[in-house]
């Protein structure tokens, strides 16, 4: 199956994979605004021209994971928010075409995608519907009709307000039992809060796992959270806590966790399984604070503190 993936990826996507830096999880690519069609023959040249790595494409192991998830769940109709260069889009489309070449459809939304998207002009492009729009203003019926998606991947604007609104907007269109995945949920506290809020709805079950990239942050990786929809969701069903004025922008750490706890009545600290359980202790979180989705005991051990719920810990 992995051979099928490599055989179906466009030349630019294959070249991008070859430009992946295993040590950092970044890519030896030109800046996103200078994106161009790539060839594998140019890989040595690009590595020399761009020694500084960039991080706007998901890690290669994450792209492979997306392909595997699509194939294993036999997902043919897919929604993606955050096209960027189209690298993840290519892997999603390759998986969908492996499942059902005729029915494969990847709707990918971005208000400002890069020029020269990696799938343009390729066979995969026949199964991709690129939409240039704000994801919160796009009506999925325009591309999908009245059908439902089998799989969704959210990797657009990394703010609490935007991601929570995307989930409320699109999850009614995901089939029952379908998977949806969120990228960067370990490195951005904003997104970790969305994951915990979504888990608290009881409409989905979740697994959060570390991913390959490390950036310059020794304590965190981007991470990914994968959900399975286990209960029906109708339009208007998902109402997330309003954190306006507390979380804004792409927050690597929550500046005022005590205010979040006060605003939400402890919603995000009620589950003792996660490091978020103790996020309001000791003042503002810093860049080296453990990800909110880290297991609570592991996070406490790393910080040299008693694990939550063990003798010696304080509420």
CA distance 144 to 55: 31
Judged against a pLDDT cut of 70, whether residue 314 lies above it is answered with no
CA of 44: how far to CAs of 13, 18, 22, 28, 284, in Å? Answer: 15, 9, 16, 10, 44
- Would you kindly state where each structural domain of the chain is located, as residue ranges? 257-302
Render pLDDT for 142-176 as a digit per residue (tens, 0 to 9).
999 999 999 999 999 999 999 999 999 999 999 99
Q: Report percent pLDDT > 90 for the chain.
A: 80
Residues 6+ apart with CB under 8 A from 56: 32, 84, 85
Long-range contacts from 34-42, C-beta under 8 angstroms, 24+ separation: 35/85, 35/114, 35/115, 35/116, 35/117, 36/115, 36/116, 37/11, 37/12, 37/116, 37/118, 37/120, 38/11, 38/12, 38/118, 39/11, 39/12, 39/15, 40/11, 40/14, 40/15, 42/15
Residue 313 reports pLDDT greater than 50: no
What pLDDT, on the 0 to 100 scale, is given for residue 252?
87
pLDDT at 306: 47
Average pLDDT, integer, range 82-90: 98
Q: How far is CA 179 from CA 3, 53, 95, in A?
A: 24, 31, 14
> Which two structure tokens, joined as six digits, stand for 179?
């998977």
62 pLDDT above the threshold of 90: yes
Give the C-alpha separation, 307 to 315, whole Å: 11
Q: What is the pTM of this model?
A: 0.93
Say whether pLDDT at 206 is over 60.
Answer: yes
pLDDT over 50 (residue 291): yes
Angle at 206 between CA 138 and CA 195, to 5 degrees: 55
Q: What is the pLDDT of residue 300?
A: 62
CA dihedral 147, 207, 110, 46 (to 10 degrees): -130
Q: What is the pLDDT of residues 231-279, one digit of tens each?
A: 999 999 999 999 998 888 888 888 889 999 999 988 999 889 999 998 8
């Amino acid at each position: 199956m992995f051979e099928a993936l490599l055989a179906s990826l466009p030349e630019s996507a294959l070249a991008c994979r070859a430009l992946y830096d295993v040590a950092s999880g970044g890519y030896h690519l030109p800046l996103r605004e200078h994106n161009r069609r790539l060839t594998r023959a140019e890989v040595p040249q690009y590595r020399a021209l761009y020694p500084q790595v960039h991080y706007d494409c998901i890690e290669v192991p994450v792209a492979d994971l997306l392909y595997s998830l699509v194939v294993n769940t036999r997902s043919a109709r897919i929604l993606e928010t955050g096209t960027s260069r189209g690298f993840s889009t290519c892997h999603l489309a390759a998986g969908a075409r492996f499942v059902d070449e005729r029915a494969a459809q990847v709707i990918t939304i971005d208000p400002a995608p890069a020029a020269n998207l990696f799938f343009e002009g390729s066979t995969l492009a026949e199964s991709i519907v690129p939409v240039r729009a704000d994801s919160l203003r796009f009506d999925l019926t325009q591309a999908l009709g009245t059908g439902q998606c089998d799989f969704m991947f959210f990797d657009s604007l990394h703010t609490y307000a935007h991601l929570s609104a995307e989930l409320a907007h699109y999850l009614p269109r995901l089939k029952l039992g379908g998977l949806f995945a969120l990228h960067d949920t370990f490195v951005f506290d904003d997104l970790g809060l969305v994951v915990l809020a979504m888990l608290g709805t009881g409409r989905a079950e979740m697994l959060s796992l570390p991913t390959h990239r490390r950036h310059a942050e020794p304590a965190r990786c981007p991470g990914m959270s994968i959900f399975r929809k286990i209960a029906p969701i109708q339009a208007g069903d998902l109402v997330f806590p309003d954190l306006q004025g507390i979380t804004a922008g792409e927050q690597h750490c929550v500046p005022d966790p005590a205010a979040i706890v006060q605003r939400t009545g402890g919603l995000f600290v009620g589950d003792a399984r996660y490091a978020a359980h103790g996020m309001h202790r000791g003042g503002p979180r810093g860049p080296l604070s453990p990800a909110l989705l880290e297991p609570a005991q592991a996070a406490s051990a790393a910080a040299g503190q008693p694990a939550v719920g063990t003798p010696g810990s304080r509420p």
